[in-house]
Amino acid sequence: MSLMSPQLEAFIAITKHKTVRSAATTLNITQTAATQRIQSLEEKLSTTLFIRSRKGMILTPEGEALLRYCNAAYELEGEALAKIKGSGIESDISVCITGPSSIMRSRIIKQCFNVLKKFPKLLIQFDINDNKNRISTLRSGDSQIAIIEEEETNSEMETKTLKPENMVLVCSSKWKNRSLKDIINSERIIDYDPNDQMTYNYLKHYNLYSSATHERHFANRTDALALMIINGFGFGVLTEEYSKPYVDEKQLIILNEGNVYQNKLAMAWFTRHQPPKYFQALINAIT
């Protein structure tokens, strides 16, 4: 593989083989095509690169200058290709994966461990982001892989559907003797931010929305949200996986008989013509 233009490839082949015919044979093109490439290169540079003699094609001083450039470029090209092909193994490469704290902590980070072992030079930034701007970080280039809600996917990017998150309705264990109806009628909901509809979606799914108070507290980090619920400032939804340790430690209890609401998520990234091996490995691991 060469990063050189076809014109420069023809130039280098002629300097090596001394004749256009031999160069064309090496490049697997016609003699006419090789000649045209040299003529095109000379027109671009506004100079003459070769003098035709009985001994073959002889470089002009300008041609010798171009040859020195090509030799230096080939040396740099070799280093660049080695780094590109060895990204994550022989050379450092950074990737940012952004996603909500629940799935990042319970699944995504763990799923990337084997990829990190396989690519020791791969540097991953796990961006814990519970806000709704994850897709914008993908567009801006601040992240290369984003975990987003399924309805946010669109044709401008590649996506793969992930296993849904099971959302459960939880409250403080201090309320274990209270009924579901009493809690949702009198206690505030705690969500991430005013745009977060997850608790509302859960309540609507189980026909509880009309009887619930719609005043809410907000905490835009899952750990802070869980802490507020544990301390009895309201109720809300958490993923089944995220809430389990708190339930096991008897800090939270699951309401509504453990019924779940599925939050459908997808992994999104922008198309790459030929994804590097480390990038494809991340895609495969997360899905």
Residue 177's SS3 state is: coil
Q: What angle do CA 66, 52, 35 make, to 5 degrees?
A: 70
Q: What secondary structure letter does DSSP report for 91?
A: B
How do beta strands 93-99 and 216-218 pair?
Answer: unpaired
- In this structure, the strands spanning 236-239 and 165-172 are antiparallel
Kindly list the averaged pLDDT for each block of 10 residues, start to end, along the chain of length 287: 77 92 88 90 92 86 89 71 57 85 87 93 89 81 90 86 94 96 96 88 95 92 94 96 94 97 92 80 93
Q: What is the pLDDT of residue 30?
A: 87
- Per-residue pLDDT at 85: 59
Topology, domain 93-164+265-286: D-Maltodextrin-Binding Protein; domain 2 (3.40.190)
Domain boundaries, the chain: 6-85, 93-164+265-286, 165-263
**What pLDDT does residue 102 have?**
80
CA distance 52 to 58: 6
**Model pLDDT, residue 75:** 66
Question: Is 189 within 8 Å of 217 (Cβ atoms)?
Answer: yes
Rounded to whole angstroms, the Cα distance separating 46 from 135 reads 48
Tokens of 259: 């019924």
pLDDT at 170: 98
pLDDT at position 81: 62
Distance CA 287, CA 283 (A): 6
Q: Which CATH number fits domain 6-85: 3.40.50.280, 2.60.120.700, 3.40.50.1370, 1.10.10.10?
A: 1.10.10.10
Q: Which option is the CATH number for 165-263: 3.30.565.10, 3.40.190.10, 3.40.50.300, 3.90.70.10?
A: 3.40.190.10
Q: Residue 98 and residue 192: Cα distance in Å, rounded?
A: 17
Residue type, 27: L
